[in-house]
Amino acid sequence: MRLSRRRLFEAGLSVAGASLLPSGARAQTGETPTVVIVNLPGGLHSLGAQADCFVPKNAFGCTSTNSRDVGNGVVVDDATFGTLDDSTLRRMCNLGVWHGISAHDLAQHALFIDGRTKSYPLQLANAIGGQSPVACAQLGTHLSGRHDAIGGASMQKLSDAGGVLAALGASPPGEFIPQRGPALAGLRASVRMSAPTLAKNQRSLSSLTSGLTGVVRALSAPPVQVDWSAIAQAYGLSPTTTLVSGFASQFATAELLIHAGTSVVMISAGGPGCSLGWDTHSDRDGVCARMGFNEQLLPSLKTFLRRTLALSGHNVVTALVGDFTRALGSEHASMLVASAWGKHLRQGTTGGFTITGAYDSYVPRNGQRAGVPQLWAFLAAAAGASLNPFGPNPHPFV
């Protein structure tokens, strides 16, 4: 199929927000780094990854017989995170994030926007650097705050992988690869004609400017060698499926973006079928939380971790976050236990806590109350970024 002018601009706008970052800012590891952040809006229950914290109180159905110490203080719930492959569990670490917030909107905002209204994901993408036409991608509908471009890195919300495939020269199954030469010539002519308008409106049109530049870069480069059919089928999707909706298609698209060299990918999707989402109030026995993990998240996450931890030439770091964990009674706690996986990460935890009271009286076992900036400092270190705008990393798993 020839790439029509309309199709060309659809493909171009699908990666608007692309960036060309200085190659000197790229992580110096010999591998292409990508940080994939899976966000559960409503809350991330730590019964799955750090079940031992609830055993002394017999909370959320956690007992010494249905939880398992997989090494170095990481104690998983047998029915959920305990079903991950042993090789995956050996590359898992838990991170205590003591943000002191128990309100949903404030917690989500604090996770992704720092006190100076700067986007944490875009600071990370800029710190990692690279030449991908998509520096930072958002897959899913929920992401708090305004994410303005930082140092040339901008964020693009993607709802269909087809435009990315077309721009990268890896067409969807059943279509011919677009004629890249004429497409490139047309885009370059459009950029020249639009230059005065883009120059006069640099702030308001910054995403469009970087998007056009990114598409020119994508069409100028050799086509990305990626088998979309194999990726889609690994997640139980039809090879003709490119619509991004739900965890399976989000993780499949994240894999595509990894091959394209994207630095940061943001994923979020709905929660359990018990209608509470990830905000599992009144779930005193943990049934609803376990349902969400097992029916919504873990099937696709297992596939993604198994495939990306073994991916040659790439350093993929996957982090699982949410507003907060649950207090006793399944109310809102004021801290988070995040989990991370990566081929170069060491197993361990800074997420262990002791429950000293009847409600949200959680005390860190290691005596440290690392916050949100320290979470992002860890992710920068795990990606091997040569820049770290977040300060020291207190989590010793890199």
**Residues contacting residue 318 through CB under 8 Å, at least 6 positions apart:** 35, 36, 37, 38, 301, 304, 305, 308, 340, 341, 342
How far apart, in whole angstroms, are the C-alpha atoms of residue 347 and residue 74?
Answer: 8
Residue-level pLDDT at 383: 98
CATH of the domain at 118: 3.40.720
List, in sequence order, every residue forming a beta bridge with 243; answer none if it has no partner. 160
311, burial (CB in 10 Å: exposed 0-12, middle 13-18, buried 19+)? middle
Domain that holds residue 52: 24-171+226-383
For residue 300, is it within any domain? Answer: yes
- Look over the chain and give the mean of its residue pLDDT values, rounded to a whole number: 86
Look at residue 348 and tell me if it is in a domain: yes
Q: Name which of 163-172, 241-250, 313-322 the model is least confident about.
A: 163-172
Asked if the structure places residue 188 within a domain, the reply is: no
Can you tell me the distance from the alpha carbon of 337 to that of 325, in angstroms, rounded to the nearest whole number? 7
Three-state DSSP state, 316:
strand
Structural domain contains residue 396: no
At 8 the pLDDT is: 40
Is residue 186 a contact partner of residue 5, using CB atoms and an 8 Å limit?
yes
> How does residue 178 score in pLDDT terms, banded at 50, 70 and 90?
low
User: pLDDT tens across 213-250, in order?
Assistant: 767 776 777 777 889 999 999 999 998 889 998 999 99
pLDDT value for 225 = 80
Q: Look up the pTM and report it.
A: 0.88
Q: What is the pLDDT of residue 211?
A: 67
Q: Among the listed ranges 61-75, 195-209, 328-342, which one has the minimum average pLDDT value?
A: 195-209
Is residue 360 very low, low, confident or very high in pLDDT (cuts 50, 70, 90)?
low
Q: SS3 sequence, 8-40?
A: HHHHHHHCCCCCCCCHHHCCCCCCEEEEEEEEE
pLDDT at 141 (0 to 100): 76
- What domain count does the chain have? 1
pLDDT at 214: 66
What confidence score (pLDDT) does residue 220 get?
76
Residue 331 belongs to some domain of the structure: yes
Q: Name the residue with higher pLDDT: 162 or 342.
A: 342
Convert the pLDDT of each residue in 46-93 to its tens digit.
999 999 999 999 999 999 999 999 999 999 999 999 999 999 999 999
The pLDDT of residue 272: 58
- Tell me, yes or no, whether 201 lies in a domain: no
Query: Could you tell me the pLDDT band of residue 21, with boundaries at 50, 70 and 90?
Result: very low
Residue 193 lies in a domain: no
Closest CA to 78 of 65, 60, 91, 59: 65
> Quick check: is 315 in a domain?
yes
